[in-house]
Amino acid sequence: MKKKQKCAYPGCDETQNGTWALVPLCKNHLTEIRAETAMHYRKSIRYHEREHYLKIAVRIPWSQVNMGVYD
């Protein structure tokens, strides 16, 4: 049995409840990121306004942050 990972959100100490873009997140942060992503797709917020997403984007290999779009 694999030991459960911790949530990858900075400053969060909760146990992982699932993954979002392969990044382990706790239940609360999964909910927040999903809500934020839905807002983004409805064009309520722009890419750089995705506060929660950008906090974990460094952990997502294909994110624009790691592609060098943002310095």
Our finding on whether 12 is near Zn ion (CB under 5 A) is yes
Closer of 58 and 69 to Zn ion (Cβ): 58
Instruction: Report if residue 7 touches Zn ion, rule: CB under 5 A.
Output: yes
- CB nearer Zn ion, residue 7 or residue 65: 7
CB of 27 to Zn ion, least distance (A): 8
20-45: b or e for each residue (b if 16 or more CB lie within 10 Å)? Answer: beebbbbeebbebbeebbeeeeeeeb
Contact between 56 and 33 under an 8 Å Cβ cutoff? The reply is yes
Q: Where do contacts with Zn ion occur on this chain (CB under 5 A)?
A: 7, 9, 12, 14, 26, 29
